[in-house]
């Protein structure tokens, strides 16, 4: 196994995604018609996500539980877990933010074409 030579080749992460009117796909498992998403500004999405992040950081809520309830990504069913990924598999801002985190750290708000995210690096 050559994994010790390139520890940065792959990471594992979970995330919480809040979509908004600027998102590429304005629909999710929670909002199949995209009614809520289309009416959500980026600012409102960031505000919601910031509040959720504060609860997690303060220990009031578990990342997985928040993801399962609030994330607009289908990974919500797995508590936000995206599994392992390497370079070039995710949108660039998402990838860069994840690789910059230490295991167990939660990112600040990250913008991609999908919406706004917070990312928890798990491996």
Catalytic amino acids? 15, 73, 91, 114, 117
What kind and span of H or E run contains 21?
none
Which of 41, 99, 52, 42 has the alpha carbon at shortest distance from 80?
52
% helix / strand / coil in the chain, to the nearest 5?
35, 20, 45
């Amino acid at each position: 196994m050559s994994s010790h030579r390139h520890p940065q080749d792959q990471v594992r992460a979970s995330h919480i995604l809040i979509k908004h009117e600027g998102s590429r796909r304005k629909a999710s498992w929670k909002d199949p018609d995209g009614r809520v998403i289309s009416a959500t500004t980026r600012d409102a999405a960031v505000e919601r996500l910031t509040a959720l992040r504060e609860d997690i950081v303060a220990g009031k809520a578990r990342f997985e539980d928040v993801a399962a309830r609030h994330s607009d990504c289908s990974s919500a069913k797995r508590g936000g877990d995206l599994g392992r990924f390497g370079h070039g598999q995710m949108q660039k801002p998402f990838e860069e933010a994840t690789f910059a985190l230490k295991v167990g750290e939660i990112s600040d708000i990250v913008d991609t074409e999908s919406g706004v995210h917070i990312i928890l690096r798990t491996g």
